[in-house]
Amino acid sequence: MIRFIFVQNRQGKTRLEKWFGSYSDQEKQKLKAEVHRTVASRDQKHQSNFVEFHNNRIVYRRYAGLFFCFCIDTNDNELAYLEAIHLFVEVLDAYHGNVCELDLVFNFYLVYAVLDEIILAGEIQETSRSVILSRLEHLNNLE
């Protein structure tokens, strides 16, 4: 199960956060800072994209200047979540056309809609890019 999802830039500014558990505001701030320190300090070429973190595991991937981080249970399949991160980025790219950090900031509601189509209650719901894009197109037509 996913505990939380962050998208953070290299400076540590959180551009997207989604929580699948109850955390106090102080815990949230502390976790965001700790995750960024942990992920940003790792060597991208010689270390894996998985890190043990508070009895859980962080699965992350860096795209351009953004870190996409999922905190998952230790017994979950890391590669499945690494693929989910890649799917998330692929769908964002297809939907926005070469997504950048500003797209996440100014169209945050669309980013959350994409995330909600992929993940439901901390579990991966849909893995088909075409299905997700057709659902998003249907949502666009409703507006």
The residue among 67, 2, 63, 13 whose CA lies nearest residue 39 is 67
pLDDT value at position 113? 93
Mean pLDDT in the chain?
A: 93
Residue 135 predicted with pLDDT over 90: yes
Q: Under 8 Å CB-to-CB from 52, ≥6 apart: which residues?
A: 58, 74
pLDDT value at position 25? 96
Distance CA 105, CA 109 (A): 9
Give the whole-number percent of the chain exceeding pLDDT 70: 100
Region of residue 98 (left: phi > 0; alpha: psi -120 to 50; beta: else): left
CA 19 from centroid of its chain's CA atoms: 11
pLDDT digits (tens, 9 = 90+) for 25-80: 999 999 999 999 999 998 888 889 999 999 999 999 999 889 999 999 999 999 99
Regarding pTM above 0.85, the answer is yes
pLDDT value at position 75? 95
Show the tokens assigned to 93. 């790219």
Residue 143 predicted with pLDDT over 90: no
